[in-house]
Structure 1
């Protein structure tokens, strides 16, 4: 019993160090930018030894990918929570609400958008990143797939369709929010949502 408790404490301590490194990397990437952040900066901010960094990550690029996955998870999780509260009746309205919620969060946190750039879908579909948050991120995909089945819309490959929607929203909104190109994000939203509805119904044609 004591041995089991000791192993649990060690495991929790390891997870705490890993999380501190992730939190430190996120803070520094946002504050200084990825290019100007060194591994030494990260471990100093996290308060751990440099060798500890390499127990969890290969290099700066590896921890950057982990940070993107973690932040993307938060966005998707918040979208699920918003849908659960308001619960629109129609499937396509729930999809639009999820995308709208994610866009609004990125509008409010442009530093996060700079970090994620156009890689929003990576948190759900990039194999290496999905392994980091496999259980959590599969929840968003699972909700989408369940809604697909419950709707009367013919969708042969729900995951591919979700990928298309997230890629479209993530890449185009990056330019609209940060650069106002081709137009302001609020002007762009109606066009984006029409395009998403068209994607959802494309197999009816």
Structure 2
């Protein structure tokens, strides 16, 4: 990578980091582009060289932060599979558990993602890499399906239902302990996920 490209990447990363800090402390609606640019040490006009508007940088932050969560969960799964075998359902549960634990330990991130998440944004986050080391989770998802030779009807609908379940229950259980705390909720969440998967597996 040349000096010019490296400089552009550093500026983009600085804007992303500044936006994330402001979004998670003040909220997206109360954060201005001028504040993001100022915190990154740049003129407001520089922001528009990298992002269309505030919602573009928000969506790309969701993409990047989601990718980091999935990357860590995927790596943890790879390590787990070195010591024991898991079937398709157990692999999905393992990934979910890893992500829930990560969100439980970073509630600012959970609050940011959950408040701004829609299926359209999430689907883009699954497939769009912001940083060079981001992963395409849909590729990982389909690889798990292929590795286990699982025949699913409507795998994207199944993933949608699981994501919606996890997103809503984690938000309430982790941030507000409603209706119960997350550790109490986990067995019920995972039982529901197993049933969702069971309904989509073609025997």
Fold shared per TM-score above 0.5: yes
Higher share of residues assigned helix? 1
* CA pair 37-103 structure 1, distance change in 2 beyond 3 A: same
Counterpart in the other structure of 1:126: 124
- Matched position secondary structure for 2:48: helix
The correspondence for 2:20, drawn from 22, 26, 36, is 26
TM-score (norm 2): 0.86
Residue of structure 2 aligned with 1:35, choices 17, 29, 48: 29
Cα 1:120/1:77, change in 2 over 3 Å: farther
Aligned-residue CA RMSD in angstroms? Answer: 2.4
Q: Summarize deviations over 1:64-88 as a string: whole Å, max 9, x none.
A: 1111111111111111011011124
Judge conservation of contact 1:144–1:158 (CA < 8 Å) in 2.
Answer: no
- 2:49 counterpart SS class: helix
Q: Distance in 1 between matches of 2:139 and 2:173?
A: 29
What is the CA-CA distance between 1:159 and the residue it aligns to?
3.0
Specify every segment of 5 or more residues in structure 1 that has no aligned partner in the other structure, as ranges.
none
**CA–CA distance in 2 between the matches of 1:61 and 1:54?**
12
Counterpart in the other structure of 1:47: 41
Identify the residue that residue 62 of structure 2 maps to in structure 1: 68
The question of 1:157 aligning with 2:154 is answered yes
Q: Find 1:96's aligned residue among 93, 104, 108.
A: 93
Structure 1 position 84 matched with structure 2 position 73: no
TM-score by length of 1: 0.85
Secondary structure of the corresponding residue to residue 35 of structure 1:
coil
1:166 corresponds to: 163
- Find the residue that maps to 1:201 and give its secondary structure: helix
